[in-house]
Amino acid sequence: MSSKGNITKINQFINALPEIDGVVITDPANLAYVTGLNFQRLASVRHLCVIAFFSAEKRFIACPKVLASAYQNAGWHDSIITYANSIDTELAAVKISAAFISELFEGVHGTLGYIGDEMTQRFFEKLMKQLPGFSFADISDEFSRLRQVKSPVEMRILEDAASRTDHGIAAAIHHISRNGVSSEKSLTESIRFHTLERGVPVHGYRAVAQAVSEDDAAVLWPHAPYYAVGRDGNFFEGKFIRLEMCAQLDGYWANDSRMMVKSAMNSNQKFFAGKMTELRKFACSQIRPGVAAKEIFAAINQKAIEMGVHIAEEYGFGHGIGVTPFEPPFISAADDTVLEKNMVVVLSLAARYHTGVSEMYITKDTLFITEDGCKIVGWYENWDYPYTAAYTF
């Protein structure tokens, strides 16, 4: 993952906000965005604290010594300051950062932007105490908007991630034969290693896969980095099977969900799948620059009602994607974000298909917002209808 393009965006961002003299970044997701290193350890190991600072003239990373070489290899070189192990690593990081910032400003007290949505009150109080006289401005909304509009490099990585993940799912289900044996556990693992074969690292916390049907498909499984365990029993023929893969490539995520049927679809399934395809096409016609996310949600929801589709509106109909698998904008009733060109969203349509149990039929498609609409990227198969796995082993 290269952060060079993102650093350029941040410098332009600071120059466009004359009331801000510098930006302090402390949370794992935004640190990944600005540094080029997506450390899961920062989210899971609480004694590690990293602070990034940007101004028009200078940038630096304050980190524990154990992470210094990683940031050096990522191109930060002499812009790294380290602190020794401490009982309170937050305070250690804040103190060394505050000293550097005070020296940089040469006694002049400026205004520092911070991302309040991602900073604890305790951390913020430590920051204010160590930088007396400085003013602070919450730039959560502005910085979120900066991340939502992707650079050409980000879009290239996101398309590549979506394509490889989709190919991984398709490759896994190619191996399902009509009379073959396949359980939720085995197919889930098959999706993982077929995605891995396509160059997407799926180790540790960097991926989560699932293959579910019937009762297990009635609910959503946990998202990465959380996991659930599938059943050992075999899939029944003629049942919808949901296959999902959420994985990360070069620091950016793919979030994919596809449907298949072992053997052939019956007439009711074909009718239902056709409605979902029609709903996807309608949704894509609504997703374009200049339209608020909540307006798109309302239009899709109304269309689903008119079509008689039992849509799961409580989950929303999509979200942004980038250095995290779920990020703004959200296609939900509460998000008034107006879409812009070069935003990237995952259109997620979940509907309940009733056959004695309430299976959740979910399709997820990565969309690039274009100048006058949107386009789907990453399709390996044509997913207008579920994949039919019969005699393909």
- The answer to whether 374 touches 288, Cβ cutoff 8 Å, is yes
Domain with 27, as residue range(s), is 4-148
Between 17 and 357, name the one with better pLDDT. Answer: 17
- Omega of the bond leading into 386 within 30 degrees of 0 (cis): no
Q: Over pLDDT 70: what percentage of the chain?
A: 90
The enclosing domain of 127 has a CATH number of 3.40.350.10
Residue 357 has pLDDT above 70, yes or no: no
- The answer to whether 22 touches 53, Cβ cutoff 8 Å, is yes
HSE-CB of 153 using CA atoms within 13 angstroms: 15
CA atoms of 293 and 300, how far apart (whole Å): 11
The answer to whether residues 139 and 168 belong to one domain is no
The answer to whether residues 374 and 235 belong to one domain is yes
Between 284 and 2, name the one with better pLDDT. Answer: 284
The answer to whether residues 179 and 121 belong to one domain is no
CA atoms of 299 and 237, how far apart (whole Å): 35
Distances (CA, A) of 286 to 20, 33, 312, 366: 36, 29, 18, 15
CA atoms of 20 and 127, how far apart (whole Å): 16
Structure token pair of residue 11:
């410098």
The three-state (H, E, C) secondary structure of 145-176, written as one string: HHHHECCHHHHHHHHHHHHHHHHHHHHHHHCC
The answer to whether residues 94 and 239 belong to one domain is no
CA atoms of 328 and 319, how far apart (whole Å): 6
* pLDDT band (50, 70, 90) for residue 249: very high
Give tens-digit pLDDT for 40-50.
Answer: 777 666 678 99
218 phi/psi in degrees, rounded to 5: -80, -10
The answer to whether residues 107 and 163 belong to one domain is no
- Entry pTM: 0.91
The answer to whether residues 88 and 119 belong to one domain is yes
The answer to whether residues 273 and 385 belong to one domain is yes
The answer to whether residues 31 and 114 belong to one domain is yes
- Tally Cβ neighbours within 10 Å of residue 8: 11
In the prediction, which pLDDT does 1 show?
52
Mean pLDDT of 15-25: 91
Boundary of a domain, candidates 125, 148, 171: 148
Boundary of a domain, candidates 148, 181, 196: 148
The answer to whether residues 178 and 113 belong to one domain is no
Boundary of a domain, candidates 109, 126, 148: 148
Looking only at the bridges linking them, the beta strands covering 358-369 and 374-377 are antiparallel
The answer to whether residues 129 and 166 belong to one domain is no
HSE-CB of 207 using CA atoms within 13 angstroms: 26
The enclosing domain of 311 has a CATH number of 3.90.230.10
Give tens-digit pLDDT for 164-188.
Answer: 999 999 998 887 764 456 778 888 8
Q: What is the DSSP string of 232-278?
A: SSBPPTT-EEEEEEEEEETTEEEEEEEEEEES---HHHHHHHHHHHH
Give tens-digit pLDDT for 65-84.
Answer: 989 999 998 888 889 999 98
In the prediction, which pLDDT does 205 show?
62
The answer to whether residues 336 and 198 belong to one domain is yes
CA atoms of 159 and 189, how far apart (whole Å): 23
Give tens-digit pLDDT for 105-143.
Answer: 887 788 999 999 999 999 999 999 999 999 999 999 999
In this structure, what DSSP letter does residue 222 have? P
In the prediction, which pLDDT does 6 show?
83
The answer to whether residues 131 and 166 belong to one domain is no
**Mean pLDDT taken over the chain:** 88
Residue 393 has pLDDT above 50, yes or no: no
Residue 356 has pLDDT above 80, yes or no: no
Question: What H or E segment, with its residue span, contains residue 185?
Answer: helix 184-197
Number of domains in the chain: 2
In the prediction, which pLDDT does 262 show?
82
Strand boundaries in 31-181, DSSP class E: 51-55, 59-64, 80-83, 111-114, 135-138
